[in-house]
Amino acid sequence: MDEPDILRKSDVLQGLKTEVIGREIHILRVTSSTNTHAMEMASDGSPEGTVVVAETQTGGKGRLGRTWASPKGNLYFSIIFRPNIPLRKAPLITLMGAVAVASTLKAVYNVQATIKWPNDIFVSSKKISGLLTEMSAEQDRIKHIVLGIGINVNITLNALPAEVRTSATTLVEETGQKINRKMLLCQLLMELERWYRIFLGDVDCMLREWKAFNMTIGNRVTVQGMGESFEGDAVGIDTEGRLLIKLADGILRPIAAGDVTLQRGQNSKSNPPI
């Protein structure tokens, strides 16, 4: 007999009102990483909008070699994009995805989600979702981008490794209700399609929404990465999605990658560096 809460392709397709994203969808019981799977499919020619979902991942990936704990009961999925945009704009796909996740959580579950640059979604100062973007490019041309999204949904926090448990939350925890994962997945894919369209036509509109959800700008931060660490004030975001840090001498330094830790107590304990 089927497990009651298993995602089925026919159910998802029935609930999905999109034109591109998820029209080709692969739902797996288990894979090492939906991102790795989708990157392989993209290299083999799978079309834009192809989605790979897994009930659990044995090697869920975070950024910079970190891991994403992937017990059953959450959502783990990756989407193939083939945008006709300059390479330097590729990081904006992560921001676009974060806007879609945060706005779905707000619109459907009335959960106040905030985005921590570049790829974390927080609720009640705890991490509920992380995004991982991977890309294949040649010279200045993007071949494909895979956007992977993990969201903690119906698990109990005990299902997460001890070191993550205190800094993580789940949708069931935040809403007090067991979540229909099929509906959540459909809503997310529809919102992703909406924001992907907006992003392609009007980056500024997407960035305005990102700013409305963000928790990073306006804070003093420590930036780590590229073998250095420094402090500054996060004052804005540029049109390539780089975080603008104002240094002590007043100079603005754009950050394309790295770990940002917020100071002034906000999440500084519960929030591991991204």
Which positions lie near ligand BT5, rule CB under 6 A? 33-35, 57, 60-64, 66, 68-69, 76-78, 119-120, 127, 130-132, 148-150, 152, 160, 164, 168, 272, 274
Q: How far apart are CA 252 and CA 121, in angstroms?
A: 25
Residue 109: CB minimum distance to ligand BT5, A:
17
Question: CB–CB of 75/153 below 8 Å?
Answer: yes
Residue 181: CB minimum distance to ligand BT5, A:
14
Residue 205: CB minimum distance to ligand BT5, A:
25
Residue 60: CB minimum distance to ligand BT5, A:
4
Tokens representing 182 are: 């099929």
Burial class of residue 107, CB neighbours in 10 A (0-12, 13-18, 19+): exposed
Burial class of residue 75, CB neighbours in 10 A (0-12, 13-18, 19+): buried
Contacts by residues 107-113 (CB-CB < 8 Å, ≥ 24 positions apart): 107/187, 107/191, 108/183, 108/184, 108/187, 109/171, 109/174, 109/175, 109/179, 110/175, 111/171, 111/174, 111/175, 113/213
* C-beta of 159 vs 246, nearer to ligand BT5: 159
Q: How far apart are CA 268 and CA 58, in angstroms?
A: 29
* C-beta of 99 vs 160, nearer to ligand BT5: 160
Residue 257: CB minimum distance to ligand BT5, A:
11
* C-beta of 61 vs 144, nearer to ligand BT5: 61
- Strands in 25-31's sheet, in edge-to-edge order, are 25-31, 51-57, 75-81, 141-151, 126-138, 120-123, 113-116
* C-beta of 43 vs 248, nearer to ligand BT5: 43
Residue 217: CB minimum distance to ligand BT5, A:
18
Measured from each CB, the residue nearest to ligand BT5 is: 130
* C-beta of 67 vs 177, nearer to ligand BT5: 67
* C-beta of 68 vs 81, nearer to ligand BT5: 68
